[in-house]
Amino acid sequence: MSTATAVDERLAPTSLVRRLLGRPELGAVVGAAAVFVFFSFAAPSFLQASSLSTILYSASTIGIMACPVALLMIGGEFDLSAGVMVTTSALVSAMFSYQMTANVWVGVGVSLLVTLAIGFFNGFMLTRTRLPSFIITLGTFLMLTGLNLGFTKLISGSVSTKTIADMEGFSSARALFASQWNVGSVTLKVTILWWLALVAVATWILLRTRAGNWIFAVGGGADAARATGVPVVKTRIGLYMGVALCAWISGQHILFSFDVVQSGEGVGNEFLYIIAAVIGGCLMTGGYGSAIGSAVGAFIFGMTSNGIVYAQWNPDWFKFFLGAMLLLATLLNAWVRKRAEAK
């Protein structure tokens, strides 16, 4: 019966619509278009080139983290410590440089090592204890929040770091992590380039490398992956270290663009990354999603958060919009999965 139906179905040509329906980003792209059109009418200043660059900047700061978080979610795990890890990375960089009176680049390097170590710790604890990643990274989240505040106060005596803007290496580091160009009236930030590059690399990894195949497999069926010889442990640890790497990029951007870092920053941002990834088509249960989707999700987030300001609405309702969007995206994804698993 099975072979017979398969042959019958073959006769129907694969339509473009059907193929598009199978893409994980579909829901997000439709949503993005709807939000764009909506704000184009609702907010007169929304379509200005300068406004769009603001939106892109906003989207890029979320998107840089949403991208590795999406990969992690495809791999079937969460990272609740992603938001504060960004702050940790910036704090380590600033405080190391300041306390050692070292060239700023030394602090940036140390920060990279520390941040990667945190990512490794997350992955290692997860694979070792086999507890849900929700619990493990919630623990890391709380610990980092405490460490951020504790160490900052212990070392610099206040809740924010001291400025390192007058130290050697600052300007070159700023050029890499926080530079901007003026094209006419439009200001383009370097984070947009980081963002696009990261999405491109992540897409390449996901769709065209063995590691990408493993990420899908680990998230879609860890037992099956293990049985076919996929290095599950290494893949998971690698994914967490990927999040850490991007947290480092993000953290350095914050440091070099705002000079000082407050120890309380970053809390709650982990949910924005997860929201962007989910809107972009990642399944909460893993095994399905895309890096491009996370970028579209971040863009929707950028449009919504700034669009409400452009529209001059009462921003009290912002969170409601965000929540509603998340719910719609999740419903759409559930439908897609049902379609994929239907026999």
Site for another protein in 204-223 (CB under 8 A): 204, 208-210, 212-214, 216-217, 220-221, 223
Choose, by CB under 8 A, the member of 154, 324, 331, 334 that binds another protein: 154
Residue reference for tokens 């070099």: 256
Within residues 119-148, the interface with another protein by CB under 8 A covers 120-121, 124, 127-128, 145, 148
Cβ distance 25 to 293 under 8 Å? Answer: yes
Alpha-carbon distances, residue 87 vs 53, 74, 172, 200 (angstroms): 24, 25, 21, 25
Q: Tell me how crowded residue 229 is: count the other CB atoms within 10 A of its CB.
A: 7
Please report how close the Cβ of residue 237 comes to another protein at its closest, in angstroms.
8
What's the CA gap between 310 and 319, in Å, rounded?
16
Tell me if 171 contacts another protein by CB under 8 A.
Answer: no
| Residue 177 near another protein by CB under 8 A | no
Angstrom distance (rounded) from CA 142 to CA 131: 17
Segment contacting another protein (CB under 8 A): 136-144, 161-169, 290-298, 325-333? 161-169
Residue 203 touches another protein, criterion: CB under 8 A = no
Nearer to another protein, 180 or 330 (CB): 180
Cα–Cα distance measured from residue 302 to residue 328, given in angstroms and rounded to the nearest whole number: 17
- H-assigned helices in 209-317: 210-220, 222-227, 232-258, 269-279, 291-310
Q: How far is the CB of 121 from another protein (least distance, A)?
A: 7
Distance CA 321, CA 300 (A): 11
| Binding of residue 101 to another protein (CB under 8 A) | yes
Taking the complex as a whole, the smallest distance from the CB of residue 171 to another protein amounts, in Å, to: 11
Least separation in angstroms between CB 214 and another protein: 8
